[in-house]
């Protein structure tokens, strides 16, 4: 066994301590430009971690299609799958920013944008597509002449012709549906 392995095997180092020491070693050996890049990367990791702590698994988080941290302005750019969610998140901006700050990442702002058409990830497309459930047709049964006359009599006092016709159509549709439901119940 080589001496270096023997010495390492006899000493116990906590993993967290090892990572911190290794981080310090890498940063010390880096050029100033590279060190600035590494520190910016660590800062962006903290921002993404805080975003995930605040929004991951939430109703709002399910509509996020992309994130991009902008270190030059210290803003988080958030892409959403629809304009309505962009508006919703814009209204929640300060609440989310405060929660991210509590989670350990200070950002000066959150910018919300709608993902361009055609650039939505497949999972988001599935959420946006309306569910095409096979539904049986609504129950329906034609009304008798007496039932139609009764509806016409009930709406006759209404002076506004458009309102009277709209109400008559709605009452007729409701009565046809109710009669259809009743006819399905009877053997």
Q: Which residues of 74-90 are buried (b: 16+ CB within 10 A; e: fewer)?
A: ebbebbbbbeebbeebe
Residue 65 belongs to domain with CATH number:
3.30.300
Residue 4's pLDDT band (boundaries 50, 70, 90)? low
Residue 40's pLDDT band (boundaries 50, 70, 90)? confident
What was the pLDDT predicted at 1? Answer: 45
Provide the mean pLDDT of the chain: 83
* Same domain (yes/no): 115, 152: no
Cα-only R_g, the chain: 32
* Same domain (yes/no): 154, 114: no
pTM given for the model: 0.50
In the predicted structure, residue 7 carries a pLDDT above the cut 70? no
If you average pLDDT over residues 42-71, what whole number do you get?
A: 87
* Same domain (yes/no): 108, 154: no
**Residue with the two structure tokens 């270190």:** 71
- Give how many domains the chain has, as a whole number: 2
Tens of pLDDT, residue by residue over 60-96, are 888 888 899 888 888 999 999 889 999 999 999 999 9
If you average pLDDT over residues 46-71, what whole number do you get?
A: 89
Let me know: does 168 contact 151? Beta carbons within 8 Å.
Answer: yes
Question: What is the rounded CA–CA span in Å between residue 75 and residue 7?
Answer: 47
* Inter-helix orientation angle 15-29/32-55, to 10°: 140
Let me know: does 152 contact 143? Beta carbons within 8 Å.
Answer: no
Question: What is the rounded CA–CA span in Å between residue 115 and residue 120?
Answer: 6
Helix (H) or strand (E) holding 47: helix 32-55
Let me know: does 79 contact 114? Beta carbons within 8 Å.
Answer: yes
Domain hosting residue 150, numbered range: 145-185
Let me know if residue 161 belongs to a domain.
yes
If you average pLDDT over residues 4-21, what whole number do you get?
A: 65
In the predicted structure, residue 105 carries a pLDDT above the cut 60? yes
């Amino acid at each position: 066994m080589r001496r270096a392995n023997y010495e390492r095997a006899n000493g116990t180092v906590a993993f967290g301590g090892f990572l911190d020491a290794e981080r310090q070693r890498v940063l010390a050996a880096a050029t100033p430009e590279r060190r600035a890049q590494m520190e910016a990367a660590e800062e962006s990791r903290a921002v993404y971690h805080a975003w995930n702590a605040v929004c991951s698994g939430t109703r709002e988080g399910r509509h996020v299609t992309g994130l991009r941290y902008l270190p030059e302005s210290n803003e988080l750019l958030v892409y959403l799958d629809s304009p309505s969610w962009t508006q919703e998140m814009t209204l929640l901006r300060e609440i989310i920013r405060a929660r991210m700050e509590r989670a350990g990442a200070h950002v000066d702002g959150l910018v919300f944008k709608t993902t361009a058409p055609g650039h939505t990830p497949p999972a988001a497309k599935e959420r946006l597509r309306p569910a095409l459930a096979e539904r049986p047709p609504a129950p329906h049964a034609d009304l008798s002449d007496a039932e139609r006359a009764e509806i016409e009599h009930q709406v006759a006092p209404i002076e506004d012709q458009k309102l009277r016709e709209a109400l008559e159509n709605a009452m007729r549709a409701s009565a046809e549906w109710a009669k259809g439901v009743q006819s399905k119940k009877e053997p």
